[in-house]
Amino acid sequence: MADSTRAGDGAPTLHDVAAAAGVSFSTVSNVIRNHPHVREATRKRVLDAIAAVGYRPNLVARNLRSGRSGVIGLAVPELNQSYFAQLADDVIRAAGAEGYVVLVEQTGGRRERERELLRDPRLALTDGTLISPLGLTRDDAKDIALGRPVVVLGQPLLDEADHLTMQHEAAARAATTHLIEGGRNRIVLLGAHPAEQGTTASLRRDGYRAALEAAGLATPDELVVPIEVWDRHHGAAAMWELLRSGTVFDAVFAMNDDLALGAMRALHERGVHMPADVAVIGFDDIDEGRYSYPSLSTVDPGRRQIAELAVAMLLERIMGTTDAAPGRMVAPDFRIVVRESSTT
């Protein structure tokens, strides 16, 4: 039980085990690594010694030797946004199934922070990175040299990285079309990021516009509401402001479910009925939307599959089981989920 062989306060090492078992530390290493040529009696003696001194391999040393850490990094805007919490959940599970653990970083969706993260030597602790950028543009990323496996969840951004792209535009278009087919024609877009190109926000906005144009509807500027941070709070605040302004509308397409839920709260408070007065659809299919009142229509982008696919792509790079050039994959099909908030 006791660890009488140990000196100082450090954890026992191979050498401590070796001393306890009366063999060289190489032999202990052989036992641990399942080296084929170890006599049964020796193996047992070593295993007993391991138990006796309470030895645990020092993973840091092992990593230094092997060049691998068994850790992947996941960078998301913030876990307080349900979509990313659930994405992180899925990623941790998928990675865990392959024996990897996950270091989670929050970017707040700020481009400087996203940039910094991709260059941060801290990431060298991980074998690779999965990043879901929000603010970063191709321009910002131009001079980033990675030299390590990275998978980007989003639009093509880095030449050296793999990309897993959602069908933002098509999905946004389908969501908007769903509202139009329900007879709506003054549809608010909640969460625009005006100045940007090639980001999640701009692609979804393009889809929204395309749907309206295809239906012969105009897209008045006052219906496109910019919101920097896509959380419930900002969704509610923006909706309050919109209601205060007296703008007339009969539907809302929110850039994500958090914004939609925040907006719904504001609509409730003003006594606006959903879906009778205003139909609402969000994006992401977070779990909450099933349980809200009214339950929230949304776009299911296949989050779970995306997480699994992204982890698989990253691990393939890490293990070097692929020699394909960095490329782009398009996420599996999205799906419009119709719930109460947009039922005609």
Partner DNA sequence: TCGTCGGTTTACAACGTTGCAATTGCAACG
Partner DNA sequence: CGTTGCAATTGCAACGTTGTAAACCGACGA
Residues that bind its own copies (CB under 8 A): 10-11, 54, 56-61, 63-64, 67, 69-71, 78-80, 82, 85-86, 88-89, 92-93, 96, 101-106, 121-122, 124-125, 145, 147, 231-233, 236, 261-262, 264-265, 268, 287-288, 290-293, 295
Q: How far is the CB of 228 from its own copies (least distance, A)?
A: 17
What is the distance of C-alpha 288 from the center of its chain? 17
Q: Is 147 in the site for DNA (CB under 7 A)?
A: no
Nearer to its own copies, 53 or 192 (CB): 53
Q: How far is the CB of 13 from DNA (least distance, A)?
A: 4
Q: Is the peptide bond before 275 cis (omega within 30 degrees of 0)?
A: yes
State the binding partner of 320 from DNA, its own copies, none, CB within 5 to 8 A by kind: none
Nearer to DNA, 194 or 321 (CB): 321
Angstrom distance (rounded) from CA 145 to CA 128: 14
Could you give the C-alpha distances from 311 to 92, 171, 331, in angstroms and in order?
A: 9, 23, 13
What is the tally of helices (H) and strands (E) in the chain? Answer: 12, 12
Which of 5, 25, 110, 228: binder of DNA (CB under 7 A)?
A: 25
Could you give the C-alpha distances from 334 to 102, 172, 311, in angstroms and in order?
A: 26, 10, 19
Maximum pairwise Cα distance, the chain:
85
Nearer to its own copies, 219 or 295 (CB): 295
Could you give the C-alpha distances from 51 to 56, 75, 263, in angstroms and in order?
A: 9, 38, 59
The site map against DNA for 1-20 (x = CB under 7 A) is ---------xx-xxx-----
Give 324's contacts (C-beta < 8 A, 6+ positions apart).
none
State the binding partner of 100 from DNA, its own copies, none, CB within 5 to 8 A by kind: none
Q: Is the peptide bond before 294 cis (omega within 30 degrees of 0)?
A: yes
State the binding partner of 32 from DNA, its own copies, none, CB within 5 to 8 A by kind: DNA
Nearer to its own copies, 60 or 195 (CB): 60
Angstrom distance (rounded) from CA 336 to CA 338: 6
Angstrom distance (rounded) from CA 284 to CA 130: 18
Q: How far is the CB of 68 from its own copies (least distance, A)?
A: 9
Angstrom distance (rounded) from CA 10 to CA 14: 12
Q: What are phi and psi of 311, to 5 degrees?
A: -65, -40
The site map against DNA for 53-92 (x = CB under 7 A) is --xxxx--xx-xxxx-------------------------
Nearer to its own copies, 180 or 266 (CB): 266
DSSP string, 166-201: --HHHHHHHHHHHHHHTT--SEEEEEE-TT-SSSHH
State the binding partner of 344 from DNA, its own copies, none, CB within 5 to 8 A by kind: none
Q: Which amino acid is at 134?
A: L
Which of 9, 33, 143, 147: binder of DNA (CB under 7 A)?
A: 33
Please report, as ranges, the residues that interact with DNA according to CB under 7 A.
Answer: 10-11, 13-15, 23-27, 29-30, 32-33, 35-39, 41-42, 55-58, 61-62, 64-67
